[in-house]
A and B are shown apart, each in its own frame.
Chain A
Amino acid sequence: MTSTAQELHPAPTLEPGRTILELKGLEKRYPGTHALKPVNLAFKSGEIHAIVGENGAGKSTLIKLLTGVMPRTSGDVIWEGKPEALATPHEAMALGINAVHQEVVLCRHLTVAANMFLGEENSRYGILQQRAMVKDAQKIIDDLGFDLPAHVVLGDLTIGQQQLIAAARATVRGTKFLIFDEPTAYLTRKEADQLFKLIRRLKGEGVTIIYISHRMEEVFELADRVSVLRDGTLVGTRNIAETNDAELVKMMINRSIEQVYHKEHFTPGAMIVEAKNLSGKGFENVSLSVRAGEIVGLYGLIGAGRSEFVTTLYGRHRKSAGQILWEGKPVQVNSEHDAIRLGMALAPESRRDQGLCLNLPVGLNLNLPIYKRISSNMLISGAKEKAEADRQIAGLRIKTPTRSALASSLSGGNQQKIVIGKWLAHGAKLFIFDEPTVGVDVGTKAEIYRLFGALLSKGAGIILISSYLPEVYELADTLHVFRRGKLVATHGFRTANHEDILTQALAEKQEKLGGQK
C-alpha cells in the first residue's frame, strides 16, 4: 500500500435527497436492558440528521449498531439499497461509515498522526512511512482549519483538542456517512464553531451526517431533520423548520419543562474559602473567594487553567505561590485527603479517567466518598449502603437496571450523574463541579441545578466550572473569566453580556492567531 488513506476512499458521488441508509426494525437488547426497540428510520443522502433524546434513550446504541461496534439483536440495515451485516468496525469503514464516538476513544500514548491513520497506516514493504503520515495528517488538520500539530503525543492535548482530532480522523474514514455522538460536550464555543464549519463543509461535499446532541440550539443551528428517541423507541421525525424547542423537549421526556436554569438567590453568608494570589502549574496569581450560599462560576476556554486551579485548591497539585484561607484561617492542603477533611468535594471533568471506577457497580461508585458514614467501626452497613445508593439512583433518575450493574454499562449521561451524585450525599461545605452537565439531558440538567439550590440552602458554597457559557451565566452569582492561566475579569449575576464575556475569554488568542495568519 503506497497511497495515503485519503486516496483509498474515492469521493462520494451520490445525488442528494436519495435514501442512503435505511433501518428496518433495528433492535438491540443488552442483558437486562431493551436499549433499542425496533426502529424504522431512513436517512437521506447529504442531510444533517439530528438525533435527540434523554440519557439512556438509546442514541449511542443506535450508533454502535451502525458502525459495527456491537452486533444487533434483530432487524435490517439497508445501505444504498443492499442489506449489510455491519458485523465489524472494519466493514462499516469499508462502506464509508464512521463515527466520532461519545467518549473520545483514541490512543493517548500514540501521536496525533498515528491515531489519524490507526488501522489504515501508510506502509511500504511493511515499513511504516512515518514522515509521510505526519505530513498527511498535518495537511488534513490544516485543511480543516484546526491549528494543531500532528507529531505530538495525543495525551498531551486537551480533551477538546482530542475531540477535534477524533473528528478530523473520522472525516478520513467516513467518507459517505459520518456520525457525531455529542461532539461538542467537551468543546468550547470556538472549537465548536470550527467543528460546525467542518460539518457544513462535509455536507456540502455530499456526506450524510447524523448529529447527536443535548444542546437544542446546536440542533436548530445545524440540522435539516431531527428524530427523537425515548426509551429506545423512535417517537418521531421532524423537519427542523417545522418544529421548535418546546415540542422536541416534550417528545423527549413526555412532559414539559418551564425553566431549565433554576436559580435561587441566597444572601451570601460566611466566607468558606479564599485563594490569595494562588499560583501553580497552569495558572498564576489567582485570587477569588467563595461564600456560603453562593455559586462562583469559572468560565474560559478549555486549557485556560480553571481545572488546574481547582485541583490545586483541592490538594491534587502543589501550589507554587500564594495562600489558601479556609473559613478565614490559612491552611495547607497537601492532599485530596486534607481537602476532603476540611469539607471540600470535587466532581472532576473527565469521568472516564478521574470520576468513575468503570468496572465496579453503580452503587459502590455512588457510595465511595461516604463509606465512612455508612459503616460502623470497620464494617459497612449493608442496609445503609443499599438505601443510600437507591436514594441517589431515584433522586437523579439514573437509568440503570439495578444498583449492582457496572458503571461501564450505563449511557454516557447516566455515568455523569454518578460523578455528580456521589458527592451530593457527602455533606461538604464547598462543592467544586468541573463541567458537571457534560452530556446530561435537559430534564436531568434542570434536576441537577435544583440540587445546587438545595446545597446552597444548607449553607454550602459552589465553584462551578463550565465551558458552556449559558450555564455559568444563568447560575453564577459571581462569574470569573479565565484566560491562559490568569483571572482576567469578574462579573456579578447577569451583569455582563455574552459577547463581552466571550471576548474576554478569547481576546489574546485572536490577536495571536490574527498575527500568524
Chain B
Amino acid sequence: MSTEAIAAEKPKRNYNALFGLTLLALLVLLWVILSVATQSFASGNNISNLLRQGSMIAILAVGQTFVIITGGIDLSVGAVVGFATVIAAMLINAGVPVFLAILITLLVGVAIGLFHGFGIVKMGLPPFIITLATLTSLRGIGLLMTNGNSISINNDAFQEFSRSSFVGVPNLFWMVILVGIPAYIFLHHSRWGRYLFSVGSNAEASRLSGVNVQRTIYMAYTLSGLCAAFVGVLLASRIGIGNPTQAEGWELQAIASSVIGGTSLFGAVGSVHGPLLGAFILATINNGANLLNVNAFWQRIITGVLIIVIVYFDGLRRRGK
C-alpha cells in the first residue's frame, strides 16, 4: 500500500497558507507599484481611506465564504446591508440606545439568515433562488418603510465611530480583525467549521456520519446574514444615513473577493484569510485606478480580468498538485 500512498504523502497541508502568502505578495506588490506611480497613494489619509473602503466588503466576504463552502451562495447580502442601515437609522432616531439599536439590527440579519436556511432546508429551494428573492424584496420593503427617502441619523457619537481611528488604524479596519479572528477559529478550528466543509464536500456522507446537515446549512446562512447586518451598521455609521438602496452590487463584490481568495464555488474549499485579502486587493485596485485617473468603466473590466486570472491559476495549481 505504501507505494500507492506516496503520491499522497507529499505535504500540501500548507497549501492554504501558501496561497494566502501569494495573495499577500500580490497585495504588497500593488501597494509598492502604486506608491511609486502616484504621490498620493502612500499618504496616511489615503491608506486609511482604502482600509475603510475594503473593510466592509471584507466582512461581507467572510460571511459569504461560509455559505459558498457549503456549496451554496448568498445573493442577498448587499440588500441586507441596505436594509440594515434603514433599521439602524430608524431605531437610533426613535431614541433607542445605540447599543440596543445595533443589537436589534444584528438580530434582523440573523432572522434573514434563518429564513434563507428555512427556504433551503424545509422548502427545498435552491440557495440562488431564495437569496435572489430576498435581494429584490428586501430593497422593496426598505423603500416602503422609508417612502423612498433617506433617513439621516441624528447621533454624532454613532457617526464618529467609523471616522475615527484607534492607534492610528481606522476603527472600521479593527472591525475586520474583530470579525476575522473568531471567524478563522470557527472555520478552521471548530467542529462547526469542519461541518461546513464536510457538507460542501459530501452532504450524504456527512449525514451518515451523524452530522446535522440541516443545522449546518442554517448556520452558514445565519452567519452570512449576521455579517451583512453588521456591515449595514458600519455603513450607517459611515455615511450617516439609512437608505435601502445603499450597497448596490456589494453581493457581487463579496463573491468576487471570496473567489479571488481561493474559495471554490463548487464548495468544500475556502478559508477566512483568503477572502479578506481578496477584498483588499479589489479595494486597492479601485483606489489606485481612481488616483491614476483610470476611467471608472475600466475598473470594472480590470476586476473581471483579475477574477479570471486568479481563479485560473489557482485551479491550475490545484489540478497540478
Contact = CB atoms under 8 A, between A and B. Distances in A.
Contact of A119 (B8, B202, B210, B268): B210
A118 B205 contact: yes
Contacts of A76: none
A110 B198 CA distance: 7
Contact of B201 (A67, A88, A108): A108
Interface string B1-44: 11111011100110000000000000000000000000000000
Nearest to A304: B4
A106 B210 contact: no
A151 B2 contact: no
B225 to A, nearest CB: 21
Contacts of B204: 105
A158 B5 CA distance: 8
Given A127-B190, A128-B191, A118 B2 contact: no
B207 interface: yes
Given A128-B189, A152-B8, A512-B3, A107 B202 contact: yes
Contacts of A67: 208
A341 B158 CA distance: 70
A423 B198 CA distance: 35
Contacts of B206: 107, 118-119
B3 A509 contact: yes
Contacts of B191: 121, 123, 126, 128
A271 B254 CA distance: 58
Q: A105, A119, A153, A512 — which one has the most chain B CB atoms within 10 A of its CB?
A: A119
A108 B204 CA distance: 12
Interface string A147-160: 11101110011100
Contacts of B185: 127
A303 to B, nearest CB: 4
Given A128-B191, A149-B8, A107 B198 contact: yes
Given A126-B190, A128-B191, A105 B5 contact: no
B175 interface: no
B31 to A, nearest CB: 33
A465 B199 CA distance: 34
A123 B9 contact: no
A152 B5 contact: yes
Given A101-B208, A126-B191, A161 B197 contact: no
B211 interface: yes
A302 B1 CA distance: 10
Nearest to A485: B3
A69 interface: yes
A206 to B, nearest CB: 23
Interface string A69-82: 10000000000000
A120 B208 CA distance: 12
A109 B201 contact: yes
Nearest to A105: B205
Contacts of A148: 1, 5
B268 A158 contact: no
A109 B69 CA distance: 11
Interface in A73-121: 88-90, 93, 101, 105-110, 114, 118-121
A114 B194 contact: yes
B8 A157 contact: yes
A107 B268 contact: yes
A418 B13 CA distance: 38
B210 A156 contact: no
Contacts of A509: 1-3
Contacts of B5: 147-149, 152, 157, 161
A108 B207 CA distance: 15
A90 B190 contact: no
B8 A89 contact: no
Contacts of B208: 67, 69, 89, 101, 105
A13 interface: no
A66 to B, nearest CB: 13
A220 interface: no
A157 B268 CA distance: 18
Interface string B51-77: 000000000000000000000000000
A119 B211 CA distance: 5
A22 B268 CA distance: 40
Nearest to B199: A107
A146 B1 contact: yes
Contact of A128 (B2, B7, B190, B200): B190
A101 B1 CA distance: 22
B222 to A, nearest CB: 17
A105 B203 CA distance: 9
A119 B9 CA distance: 25
Contacts of A118: 194, 198, 205-206, 209-211
A335 B8 CA distance: 27
Interface string B162-203: 000000000000000000000001000111001001101110
Given A90-B210, A119-B210, A130-B189, A106 B202 contact: yes
Contacts of A101: 208
Interface in A381-435: none
A-B residue pairs, 4 tightest by C-beta: A119-B210, A107-B201, A119-B209, A156-B8
16 contacts: A69-B207, A101-B208, A107-B201, A107-B205, A108-B202, A109-B268, A118-B209, A123-B190, A128-B190, A128-B191, A151-B13, A156-B7, A157-B4, A161-B4, A301-B4, A516-B2
Interface of A: 67, 69, 88-90, 93, 101, 105-110, 114, 118-121, 123, 126-128, 130, 146-149, 151-153, 156-158, 161, 190-191, 301-303, 484, 508-509, 512-513, 516
Interface of B: 1-5, 7-9, 12-13, 185, 189-191, 194, 197-198, 200-202, 204-211, 268-269
